[in-house]
């Protein structure tokens, strides 16, 4: 078991240093294999690659279509149209709420987190300038809207973090709706109140809006598509996935086709957008598959049985051990989907059997796995955090404290809260 811990430490340390998990995961897996008495070559070519390939086979269509959907929403201006309309309705006096809601609507509609960051940032810059709020709060505001409750908690969200548990627990995207809604309220309301408090504190200290050093020109919206037409593809994905119970692949294809039909006059840019989205999905699927491959090697060594006994031996509700497993692994990999993939690949069948044996709802295990993936994943080495800070031109020192509170601390509290309510029989 010490080898497993050592492999995790290496994985986390190298990921924190910014090294790609694509090649870090096999190195960490090699450490686990060697210390666990496995043949190194067989562990890589067979065990590791079997886990890698099986995940890619199952999820590549979703990753690719999701990325294409998001890229088409971005390139056609539909994502910007939705964000602009929502911020206008909410108003500049509530700039934080406007940016938060814009990011949340786009994410819940199926647009990828990275696309949301690009779509919302120019609007955030404009709103924060007019409200004279420090730019330091922009990353945390976007993170709250895109990286938390719409990614893991709200029932029906088409984000991958809510879809992966379906395979392990035989559930749907709407799993444990009450549990998800309560967690979403804790994250959304708690995060918003915290950011408003920080806004007041910074203003009192004289820290207000300052222009970015690069003097980035903000696009106020320009010639964007009609809002009602722009929101239709988002609704199409949500409705077909959750009400009509279509497979997520079919739902995403429907959303993509609707974008293209509504923007047929922009058909010359479709191929470029589709190519870009498809290419962008490769890194995402390979990163997560690499993490799952690591989990497959961990599962194959003898020490895994002791680790399983340790995790399963956590007293009380078995949802607690699941939450710990997913959170720790998401933190180690710096990836919500990667950490959850490792945990469920190794322990998902055991948690499902517990649900069947004890009469607990598999949906509760689904929702806790999803919620837990969105906790410690957002540590400083997380790819989305690094992208967000790079786009906003801010540093960890300037903005990570607020990101940590809204995207790590409060989500972890929300998981603990719903597990407690479940243990008390309220959920």
Q: Nearest Cα to 160, choosing from 325, 380, 392, 384?
A: 384
- Locate tokens 């949802």: which residue? 319
- pTM of this prediction? 0.83
- Half-sphere exposure for 176 (CA within 13 Å, toward CB): 31
Return the beta strands (E) in 66-217 as ranges: none
Backbone angles phi, psi at 289, to 5 degrees: -60, -35
Pairwise CA distance, residues 59 & 276, whole Å: 19
As a whole number of Å, the CA-based R_g of the chain is: 21
Token pair in block for residue 3: 């080898």
DSSP 8-state secondary structure symbol assigned to residue 44? I
CB 259 within 8 A of CB 81: no
Q: What is the pLDDT of residues 44-95, one digit of tens each?
A: 999 999 989 988 998 899 889 988 998 899 899 998 898 888 888 888 789 9
pLDDT in tens, the chain (427 residues): 788 889 888 887 887 677 888 898 899 999 999 999 999 999 999 999 998 998 899 889 988 998 899 889 989 999 889 888 888 888 878 999 999 999 999 999 998 887 788 788 888 888 898 899 999 999 999 999 999 999 999 999 999 999 999 999 999 999 999 999 999 999 999 999 999 999 999 999 999 988 887 544 445 445 789 999 999 999 999 999 989 989 889 999 999 999 999 999 999 999 999 999 899 888 888 887 888 888 889 888 888 778 777 877 788 889 999 999 999 888 877 789 888 988 898 889 999 999 999 999 999 999 999 999 999 989 887 778 877 888 888 888 899 999 999 999 999 999 999 999 999 888 7
For residues 183 and 202, the answer to whether their CB atoms sit within 8 Å is no
Count of C-beta atoms within a 10 Å radius of residue 370: 31
Measured distance CA(180)–CA(90) in Å, rounded: 25
Q: What percent of the chain has pLDDT over 90?
A: 57
CB–CB of 292/11 below 8 Å? no
d(C-alpha 9, C-alpha 117), whole Å: 30
User: Among 132, 134, 133, 125, which residue's Cα sits nearest to residue 215?
Assistant: 125
b/e per residue 239-250 (b: at least 16 CB within 10 A): ebbbeeebebee
Residues 343 and 369: beta-carbon distance below 8 Å: yes
Hunting for tokens 């692994």 — which residue is that?
329
> How far from the centroid of its chain's Cα atoms is residue 280's Cα?
16
Are 46 and 244 in contact by the 8 Å Cβ rule? The answer is no
Distances (CA, A) of 396 to 77, 187, 255, 280, 381: 30, 22, 36, 25, 10
Q: What sign has the CA pseudo-torsion 148, 153, 154, 159?
A: positive
């Amino acid at each position: 078991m010490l080898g497993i811990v050592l492999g995790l430490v290496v994985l986390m340390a190298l990921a924190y240093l910014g090294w790609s998990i694509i090649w870090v995961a096999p190195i960490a897996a090699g450490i686990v294999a060697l210390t666990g008495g496995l043949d190194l070559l067989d562990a890589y070519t067979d065990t590791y690659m079997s886990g890698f390939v099986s995940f890619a086979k199952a999820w590549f269509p979703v990753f690719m279509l999701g990325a294409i959907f998001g890229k088409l929403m971005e390139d056609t201006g539909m994502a910007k149209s939705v964000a602009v309309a929502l911020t206008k309705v909410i108003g500049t006096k509530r700039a934080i709420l406007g940016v938060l809601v814009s990011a949340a609507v786009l994410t819940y509609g199926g647009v990828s987190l990275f696309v949301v960051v690009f779509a919302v940032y120019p609007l955030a810059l404009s709103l924060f300038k007019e409200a004279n709020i420090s730019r330091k709060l922009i990353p945390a505001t976007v993170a709250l809207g895109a990286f938390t409750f719409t990614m893991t908690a709200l029932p029906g969200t088409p984000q991958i973090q809510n879809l992966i548990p379906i395979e392990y627990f035989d559930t749907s995207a709407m799993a444990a709706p009450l549990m998800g809604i309560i967690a979403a309220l804790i994250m959304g309301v708690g995060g918003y109140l915290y950011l408003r408090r920080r806004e007041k504190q910074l203003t009192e200290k004289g820290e207000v809006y300052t222009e970015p050093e690069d003097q980035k020109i903000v696009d106020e919206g320009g010639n964007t598509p009609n809002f009602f037409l722009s929101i239709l593809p988002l609704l199409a994905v949500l409705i077909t996935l959750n009400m009509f119970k279509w497979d997520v692949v079919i739902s995403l294809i429907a959303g993509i086709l609707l974008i293209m039909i509504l923007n047929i006059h922009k058909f010359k840019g479709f191929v470029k957008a589709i190519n870009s989205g498809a290419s962008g999905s490769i890194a995402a699927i390979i990163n997560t598959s690499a993490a799952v491959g690591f989990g497959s090697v961990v599962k194959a060594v003898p020490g895994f049985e002791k680790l399983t006994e340790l995790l399963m031996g956590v007293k009380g509700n078995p949802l607690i051990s699941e939450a710990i497993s997913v959170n720790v692994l998401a933190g180690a990999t710096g990836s919500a989907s990667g950490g959850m993939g490792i945990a469920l690949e190794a322990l998902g069948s055991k948690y499902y059997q517990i649900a069947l044996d004890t009469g607990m709802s598999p949906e509760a295990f689904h929702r806790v796995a999803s919620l837990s993936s969105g906790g410690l994943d957002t540590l400083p080495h997380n790819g989305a955090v690094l992208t967000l800070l790079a786009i906003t031109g801010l540093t960890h020192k300037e903005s990570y404290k607020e990101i940590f509170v809204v995207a790590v601390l409060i989500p972890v509290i929300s998981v603990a809260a719903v597990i407690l309510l479940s243990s008390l029989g309220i959920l």
